[in-house]
Structure 1
Amino acid sequence: MEELAKEAGIPVRTVRFYRERGLISPPRREGRIAWYDDHHLARLRTIAGLLERGHTLTGIADLARTFESGRDVAEVLGLGEPTEETPVRLTPERLADYFEGEVTPENLAAALDLGYLATDGDEIVHMSRRLLEVSAELVREGVPLATVLSAARRVREHADALAELFVSALEAHSDEREPPQLRPLARAVVDAELSMALDRRLRHENTDRPPRGPAS
């Protein structure tokens, strides 16, 4: 423990306190010798980084329990299906920077359940760089992360239905498991339809909005 504390740059009593609070896992024991490893050091550095970003020890403990109960990368990617999405590896501190003040156990659990996040050792993996960036931008625009994740769940349902529609339509006329034109055609149709749907929605909103009165 003394060596671990020295490497982490914190007092031994702090390491002991974190251990008692369950913030770091027990060491591996061989007789009377307790062995701490790189995993413990990484966890201590994560705790320090999150404390610097304003998280409380209670909040960090809640986040750790939520995250450790989530799925790992092997489980999420175990099917080996083709994907165009690029995973992003993050430290917990970096994830907190993306969604400042919004990384709560509830939001973390929702992201894990959606399959957006997974674990790989001491790292967090977001399964799509595009979704990570868009989600962070929405939060910066003032949309709560809980609202973003709730909307994502509804979008997932519609996206699954659209995928089934396109796959069924093309599979009926092709012997290939994934016809090469499937993804570009599906994206083009959905992008055009969504663009027109936004036009209709915005026109409807502008029509229903009462006119501004004269300036006083």
Structure 2
Amino acid sequence: MSSQVEDGSGSGGGSGGGRYRREDVARAAGVKVRNLRYYQERGLLPPPRREGRIAWYSDDHLTRLRLISDLLGRGYTVNGIGELLHAWEQGGGLSELLGLEREMTRDWVQEEPVTLSRGELRELFGPTATAADTRRAAELGYVTIDGDLVTYPNRRLLESTLALVRQGVPLAEILDAGEFVQAQAAAVADRFVGLFRRYVIDAAGMDGSAGPEGLERLSATQLQHITAAVAALRPVAGEVVATEFARAMARRVDTEVAELLRTEQ
């Protein structure tokens, strides 16, 4: 699958370094392509930079689109979002707000997508993988299906799955394990986000139940404080989870090896 995303000079509407075609920025932000023009018409999104017939969007466009989607998901109207963005721009806090959103969402997931035809997928996994497995993988978010094409958002996850299958683990069992891990990961994420909200966001004076007027009161200084906290705490959650999982695996493997040695005696 060819990528339309480039690194290089910034594009219109911001200083972000990435360059995205219309379809790619919409896909990355999780919005429909037609929404881009609508947001531009409503003044929520700056126009892209044009080079000939190509419209290039920047990282700042992507960040703003994600912010718009988040606010829509929280019940704000398009007019309300426009008023918020205008208030932040007038108060000089919009760059801090966009920086906060960018800091809070970047780097959590680093994925390299892989797109295969269904035939290529059968060659990789062999006869043990069924159409039902593919449908379930899509339900769990491990793949997206577009006609005859199946896209894995994460190449490493695909390679890990293949390694298990080649060791004889049924794909259905791997998907069961994946669903279990998703539930546990969601619980861990909820715990860390709860701690962050209680001791960082609320401490900065941002009540989690605040409406638009509360968001308008969030000053540039508060936004900078929260952004700095996100940058400092970002590695912590991942390190804690990775370390505890490694320790748990070591204990569990030690127990299994000891059991095997006893059965050999």
Asked if these proteins are the same fold (TM beyond 0.5), I'd say yes
Letter in 1 for 2:264: R
Q: Name the counterpart of 1:167.
A: 193
- Deviation (angstroms), 1:77: 4.2
Deviation of 1:142 (Å): 1.1
Q: Partners of 2:231 and 2:115 in 1: how far apart?
A: 29
CA offsets per residue over residues 129-182 of structure 1, 9 Å max, x none? Answer: 121111111111111111111110001100111111112222323343781244
CA distance in structure 1 between the partners assigned to 2:30 and 2:161 by the alignment = 21
* Structure with the bigger percentage of helix: 2
Q: Cα distance, 1:185 vs. partner?
A: 1.6
**Letter in structure 2 aligned against 1:92:** R
Give the length in aligned residue pairs. 141
Identify the range of structure 1 (78-87 vs 138-147) with the bigger mean alpha-carbon deviation. Answer: 78-87
Describe the superposition over 1:84-140 as per-residue Cα deviations: whole angstroms up to 9, x where unpaired.
Answer: 222222222222222121331221121011011113454221121121111111111
| Structure 2: runs of 5 or more not aligned | 1-25, 32-64, 67-104, 202-225
Tell me which of 124, 127, 137 is aligned to 2:150.
Answer: 124
How many angstroms apart in 1 are the aligned matches of 2:30 and 2:167?
Answer: 31
Q: Secondary structure at the match of 1:106?
A: helix
Aligned residue identity for 1:190: V
Secondary structure of the residue aligned to 2:127 is: coil
Root-mean-square deviation (Å): 2.9
Q: Which residue of 2 aligns with 1:63?
A: none
Query: Aligned in 2, Cα 1:119/1:167: closer, same or farther, shift over 3 Å?
Result: same
Aligned to 1:212: 264
Q: TM-score w.r.t. structure 2 length?
A: 0.47
TM value normalised by structure 1: 0.56
Report the identity percentage: 34
Residues 181 and 125 of structure 1, relative CA distance in 2, 3 Å threshold: farther
2:251 corresponding residue in structure 1: 200
Structure 1: 4+ residue segments shifted above 4 A: 76-82
Within 5 A, what are the aligned runs for 1:168-187? 168-175=194-201, 176=226, 179-187=230-238
SS of the residue 2:231 aligns to: coil
